[in-house]
Amino acid sequence: MMTSADQAGTNGQTAMQTPPGGSPQDWEAARQQLLVKEKAHTRARDALAAERRRMPWMEVAKTYAFEGPGGKVSLADLFQGRRQLIVYRAFFEPGVFGWPDQACRGCSMVADQVAHVAHLNARDTTLVFASRAPQADIARLKKRMGWTMPWVTITDSFDADFGVDEWHGTNVFYRDGVRIFRTYFVKSRGDEQMGGTWNYLDITPLGRQEVWEDSPKGYPQTPTYKWWNWHDSYTEGATPDKKWVEISDAGEKAFRQEAAEGRD
């Protein structure tokens, strides 16, 4: 039987060089070989996040001002009372392709991927998008696209000072009382994976804040899985649901057993 890839070749197009067919045993053997590399990749990613949590912090001495839905706000205000702040510089302003109806296509792809921010908020982290478009245009765009993350207007040199005046990028900040520190920055290909809760937490100075993480002494850490919740059910100071603790304990026990036997 002629495959679709073979058929493409007969139509004057370059045929796809697809992998060979194989038995279920061949497929499983190949999957197990790849799984070894995937596990190594996961462990290397965790080690990289641990190293990131030990980077030096750069104090932000300059004052910055933004426009939000309610008026002027400072960089400190963007934290919304939390300790960690992630700011994504999205290009939505005059001169950007799509203006004034749409933001940059790449930045819009990032916005479409953003997970519900309640999960970040539960880890003492705030996510904010920032552009140079006026608030009226930002509000209109958010409503049209169904985006709900906080989105402020840059009014000064914030973008130029933090490496995002000519390209998109994600800056991470930490608030210690009245002092604010820049702790991390990622852009270009490194920026395209952003959007998921775990990827965002992995670039913060406190990480996921679970007990399995390699973090400096004294960093906040809670039992694995126990803080997870439905995005509309997080309650400040609430203890984990007893039933969820039982379920997550059982799941973690099974996972650890598989890991010990080399089956994870």
Confidence grade of residue 7 (pLDDT, cut at 50, 70, 90): low
Residues facing 182 on adjacent strands: 58, 173
pLDDT in tens, 51-110: 999 999 999 999 999 999 999 999 999 999 999 999 999 999 999 999 999 999 999 999
> What is the CB neighbour count within 10 angstroms for residue 40?
10
Does this model's pTM top 0.85? yes
Q: Across the chain, which distance is largest between two alpha carbons, in Å? A: 70
User: What was the pLDDT predicted at 111?
Assistant: 97
Reported in sequence order, the residue ranges of the chain that DSSP labels E, i.e. its strands, are 58-59, 65-68, 71-74, 84-89, 125-131, 151-154, 169-176, 179-187
Residue from 234, 238, 210 nearest 121 by CA: 234
Per domain, the residue ranges of the chain are 53-202, 223-258
Assigned fold of 53-202: Glutaredoxin (3.40.30)
Dihedrals phi, psi of 57, to nearest 5 degrees? -100, 140
Q: What is the per-residue pLDDT across 165-223, written as a single tens digit (0 to 9) for each? A: 988 899 999 999 999 999 999 998 888 889 999 999 999 999 999 999 999 999 999 99
Q: How confident is the model at residue 257 (pLDDT cuts 50, 70, 90)?
A: confident
Indicate the DSSP class of residue 245. H
Task: Please state, in angstroms and rounded to a whole number, the distance separating the CA atoms of residues 88 and 170.
Answer: 4
Residues in the chain: 264
**Residue 260, number of CB atoms within 10 A of its CB:** 9
CA distance 223 to 93: 43
Number of C-beta neighbours around residue 114 at 10 A: 19
Does 164 have pLDDT greater than 70? yes
* Separation CA 61–CA 16 (nearest Å): 56
For the ranges 18-27, 134-143, 195-204, the lowest mean pLDDT is seen at 18-27
Query: How far apart, in Å, are the Cα atoms of 130 and each of 8, 133, 257, 259, 261?
Result: 45, 9, 45, 42, 47
